[in-house]
């Protein structure tokens, strides 16, 4: 997997300017799907997860000017994790008081299963952030490669299939599978570095 940059302090400082559309666009591209997936993993239905995601983003927009890049006070991810967790807890409490009869949610059990912010939840955000940045980079570089090369990369590097089996199924040589995988991995790393530079 490609190396994942930390959330750049300069990007976060730029978010304080609501007119900085590039900063907000980059932030939303990475964090909106990440927040949504974290919320969905807490057994919140799709429409509700989208609503809570918007509440998290609104909370970030309203309070980003109060966040300081200070190791003593914790990371941005920790701050975002706390906001997300608190809003999910608020949503689950509200739903347990006024259930809508979804048929697939036990809100009290869901509420009790939520980990403390400094534990598993923070790790979950880290994993989801890595995945989202990988998706972001992959979407941007995919058009640069032939479909067979991309398929060879994806099936071997992401899905973990054997190169010989993939080569046989795609009708290409195993050497081309290895070359495709290496070239695309290098391009992914370059794209992540570009992401870092854009947000410095």
CATH label of the domain that carries residue 82: 1.10.1740.10
Distance CA 10, CA 15 (A): 9
Q: Does pLDDT of 116 surpass 70? A: no
24 and 122 within one domain: yes
Indicate which CATH number applies to the domain containing 165: 1.10.10.10
153 and 114 within one domain: no
Higher pLDDT residue, 33 or 195? 33
- Which of residues 119, 139, 159 is at a domain's end? 139
How would residue 102 be classed by pLDDT, with cut points 50, 70 and 90?
Answer: very low
Query: Are 124 and 38 in contact, with CB atoms under 8 Å apart?
Result: yes
Q: What percent of the chain has pLDDT over 70?
A: 75
104 and 155 within one domain: no
162 and 130 within one domain: no
150 and 79 within one domain: no
Q: Count up the domains in the chain and report the number.
A: 2
What number is the average pLDDT over the span 117-136? Answer: 70
Range of the domain at 75: 1-139
Higher pLDDT residue, 134 or 199? 134
Higher pLDDT residue, 3 or 194? 194
172 and 91 within one domain: no
Q: Does pLDDT of 130 surpass 60? A: yes
Q: Which of 11-20, 23-32, 116-125 has the lowest mean pLDDT?
A: 116-125
157 and 121 within one domain: no
- Which of residues 139, 160, 191 is at a domain's end? 139
Q: Does pLDDT of 151 surpass 50? A: yes
- Which of residues 139, 157, 173 is at a domain's end? 139
74 and 36 within one domain: yes
59 and 28 within one domain: yes
Distance CA 137, CA 165 (A): 26
Could you tell me which of 94, 120, 122, 124 has the C-alpha nearest to residue 108?
94
Each residue of 160-182: pLDDT tens digit?
A: 889 999 999 999 999 999 999 89
Helix (H, G, I), strand (E, B) or coil at 171: coil
97 and 37 within one domain: yes
3-state DSSP: the chain helix, strand, coil percent, rounded to 5?
Answer: 75, 0, 25
Each residue of 81-101: pLDDT tens digit?
A: 888 888 888 887 777 665 554
179 and 86 within one domain: no
59 and 15 within one domain: yes
């Amino acid at each position: 997997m490609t190396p994942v940059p930390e959330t750049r302090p300069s990007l976060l400082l730029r978010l304080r300017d609501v007119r900085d559309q590039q900063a907000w666009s980059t932030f939303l591209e990475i964090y909106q799907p990440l927040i949504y997936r974290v919320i969905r993993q807490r057994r919140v239905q799709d429409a509700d997860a989208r609503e809570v995601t918007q509440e998290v983003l609104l909370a970030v927009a309203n309070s980003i000017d109060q966040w300081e890049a200070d190791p003593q006070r914790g990371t941005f991810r920790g701050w975002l994790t706390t906001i997300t967790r608190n809003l999910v807890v608020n949503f689950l409490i509200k739903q347990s008081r006024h259930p809508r009869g979804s048929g697939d949610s036990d809100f009290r059990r869901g509420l009790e299963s939520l980990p403390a912010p400094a534990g598993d939840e923070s790790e979950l955000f880290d994993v989801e952030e890595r995945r989202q940045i990988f998706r972001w980079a992959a979407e941007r570089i995919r058009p640069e490669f032939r479909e067979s090369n991309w398929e060879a990369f994806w099936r071997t590097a992401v899905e973990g299939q054997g190169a010989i089996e993939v080569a046989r199924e795609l009708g290409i040589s195993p050497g081309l599978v290895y070359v495709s995988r290496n070239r695309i991995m290098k391009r992914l790393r370059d794209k992540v570095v570009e992401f870092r530079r854009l947000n410095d």
